[in-house]
């Protein structure tokens, strides 16, 4: 099946990595991590306060994804109901904030994936933009995020837009 969209998600937790997401998705009875890529924020787990700088913005591979822009059965993810067979899923660790390095890494990853798949920036959607969900995921204002991908919005302006967006969702 040809890939039509790339969906952006957040983990809805302020910490984590591909291993912890794999464990939680297996716990739901899935075969394993449902996202193709995870962008770390430097806090891989809950029990250590320190942040690992080298993990901030690091990209972990999740669900396998090979060298052509079509999905073989083993590459189909689990991240947007009814859209898994024709979309890539990337997940940013976080809920109410995302680091500069995460947003920069996500941009690099997405620019490369768009090039690889032949998709356009408008084909990058937030999970919340799927008409069949009521989730706020990825808690990022997607028009601003797409402008950031286009180079029309600075990283700092995107961060400010995210802060306002999160305030609108959680009131803090």
Closer of 3 and 140 to Zn ion (Cβ): 140
137, 140, 149, 166: residue in contact with Zn ion (rule CB under 5 A): 137
Closer of 9 and 95 to Zn ion (Cβ): 9
- Residue 127 within binding range of Zn ion, rule CB under 5 A: yes
Question: Where does this chain touch Zn ion (CB under 5 A) — which range of 52-60, 114-122, 135-143, 147-155?
Answer: 135-143
- Residue 9 within binding range of Zn ion, rule CB under 5 A: yes
DSSP the chain: -B--EEEEEE-SSSS--HHHHHHHHHHTT-SS---SEEEEES---SS-----GGGEEEEEE-S---SSSB--GGG---SSTTTGGGEEEEEES-SS---HHHHHHHHHHHHHHHHHHT--GGGEEEGGGSTT----TT-S-HHHHHHHHHTSS-HHHHHHHHHHHHHHHH--
- Residue 38 within binding range of Zn ion, rule CB under 5 A: no
Smallest distance, Zn ion to C-beta of residue 77, A = 11
Q: Which residues bind Zn ion (CB under 5 A)?
A: 9, 127, 137
């Amino acid at each position: 099946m040809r890939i039509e969209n790339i969906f952006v998600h957040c983990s809805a937790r302020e910490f984590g990595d591909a291993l912890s997401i794999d464990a939680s998705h297996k716990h739901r009875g899935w075969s394993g991590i449902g996202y193709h890529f995870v962008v770390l924020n430097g806090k891989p787990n809950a029990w250590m306060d320190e942040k690992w700088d080298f993990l901030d913005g690091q990209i972990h591979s999740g669900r396998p994804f090979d060298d052509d822009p079509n999905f073989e059965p083993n590459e189909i993810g689990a991240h947007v109901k009814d859209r898994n067979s024709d979309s890539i899923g990337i997940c940013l660790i976080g809920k109410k904030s995302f680091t500069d390095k995460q947003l920069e890494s996500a941009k690099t990853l997405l620019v490369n994936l768009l090039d690889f798949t032949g998709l356009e920036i408008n084909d990058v959607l937030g999970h919340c933009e799927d008409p069949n969900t009521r989730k706020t995921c990825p808690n990022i204002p997607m028009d601003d995020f797409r402008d950031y991908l286009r180079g029309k919005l600075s990283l700092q302006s995107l961060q400010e837009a995210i802060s306002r967006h999160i305030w609108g969702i959680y009131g803090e």
